[in-house]
């Protein structure tokens, strides 16, 4: 069974690219594996099977990451680049996307 995750990277004032990660998205694996990688490395991958300390395993035909107005947890875990390090965002603290009436 896969532990899916997203890596949200700010690309503009109200723009966050959400890169999908299919396997091993749990914090005890992802946080150490992400240490080597920059936000630019993750954005270049576009869509990820698995992040490891030695490689980023990408899908052969990756889809472009969706762009949202803020980091949004749609899977089990969400990671963001904060003050030069990768951190897990607490899904309970993230406000859901609101739709305009």
**pTM for this one?**
0.86
> Per-residue DSSP letters for the chain?
----EEEEEEEETTEEEEEEE-S--SHHHHHHHHTT--HHHHHHH-EEEEE-SS-EEE-SSPPPPPEESS----SSEEEEEETTEEEEEPGGGSPPP----
Q: Is the pLDDT of residue 74 over 70?
A: yes
Query: pLDDT-derived band of residue 76, with 50, 70 and 90 as boundaries?
Result: confident
Of 40 and 75, more confident? 40
Q: Is the pLDDT of residue 99 over 80?
A: no
Instruction: Give the pLDDT confidence score for residue 97 in this predicted structure.
Output: 45
Domain ranges of the chain: 5-93
């Amino acid at each position: 069974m896969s532990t899916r995750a997203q890596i949200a990277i700010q690309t503009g004032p109200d723009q966050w690219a959400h890169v999908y990660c299919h396997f091993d998205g749990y914090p005890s694996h992802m946080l150490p594996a992400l240490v080597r990688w920059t936000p630019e490395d993750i954005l270049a991958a576009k869509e990820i099977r698995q992040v490891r300390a030695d490689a980023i395993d990408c899908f052969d035909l990756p889809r472009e990451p969706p762009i949202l107005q803020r980091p949004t947890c749609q899977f089990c875990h969400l990671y963001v680049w904060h003050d030069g390090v990768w951190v897990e965002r607490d899904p309970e603290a993230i406000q859901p996307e609101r739709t305009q009436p």
